Amino acid sequence: MLGILSSAAGAQESLPFPPTPSASTAGLTMKDSVYKKRVDPKHLPSDAPNILIILMDDVGPGQASTYGGEINTPTLDRVAKAGISYNRFHSTAMCSPTRGALLSGRNHTRISNGQIAELANDFDGFSGTIPKSAATVAEVLKDYGYNTGAWGKWHNTPAEQTTSKGPFDYWPTGYGFEYFYGFLAGEASQYEPRLVRNTTVLDPHEYEHPGYHLSEDIATDAIKWLREQQAFTPDKPYLIYWAPGAAHGPHQVSQEWADKYKGKFDDGWDKYRERTFKRAKEMGWIP
């Protein structure tokens, strides 16, 4: 990403970019003045990529069929074949720290997210508030000219600041996301979530309906946003940060999906692990 940004405008040491100076010249009178339209420079190359980040809780590499698991993931197969998969990675194994580190590119304790937001405290590195000195990827990309949006789970705002009265400085829209539709806490009901749009706590009657499921709702909303982005600002690239409530608890899935795997895992975790381990080695994910 740094290469994409620096190739267009050189190394930028501070953001946002300073205002573009006026191209006009003011004289003593209108007759003596010269007007020229101010043209803001582009800070991105014409082929700047669109970026989609999907962050899923509690999904291990041994679950998706793409990497040897037994959960059928044909769409992930297509994504993996079109890109790069990594078999070495570091994780904090906790929600807020992982999210903070991913969004800022910094160690979780360096951005005061050493613990989940609900357990934030006054120790250095654990206050639960990402400092404004640690810009998120959304802030940087927005300043360079990206449209930015976030959906689903946030979990990077101290719990006492998530009421309808804010403060809103540390909500997604305060960290570079121009649009947010999702929930601020660590988990939400998949059937009856309490959602926020930008900084407005919504009435559940606005979005809930028979057959409602949170994952489908945020996918539909993200697609709507994307279509509008393509219609109104097709010249701008976009960043989508899509973080569903699944597969974090509560584990709530519709009957039709659960029925597809009925009996499949009845022999227990140890047998599943043996099968997955063998397949992952055969596929090359495990050396």
Which residues are CB-neighbours of 248 under 8 A, at least 6 positions away? 57, 58, 95, 153, 186, 187
Active-site residue, selected from the candidate residues 95, 108, 213, 248: 95
**Which residues, in sequence order, are bridge partners of residue 71?**
64
Distances from the Cα of 42 to the Cα of 4, 130, 147, angstroms: 13, 29, 14
State whether residue 126 is helix, strand or coil: coil
Token pair of 80 as six digits: 């993996």
Asked about 95 being catalytic, the answer comes back as yes
Token pair of 269 as six digits: 């975790």
Asked about 155 being catalytic, the answer comes back as yes
Tell the residue number behind the tokens 């190739």, with chain if given. Answer: 7
Active-site residue, selected from the candidate residues 43, 108, 155, 213: 155
State whether residue 239 is helix, strand or coil: strand
Calpha distance 124→131 (Å, rounded): 12
Q: Catalytic residue numbers? A: 95, 155
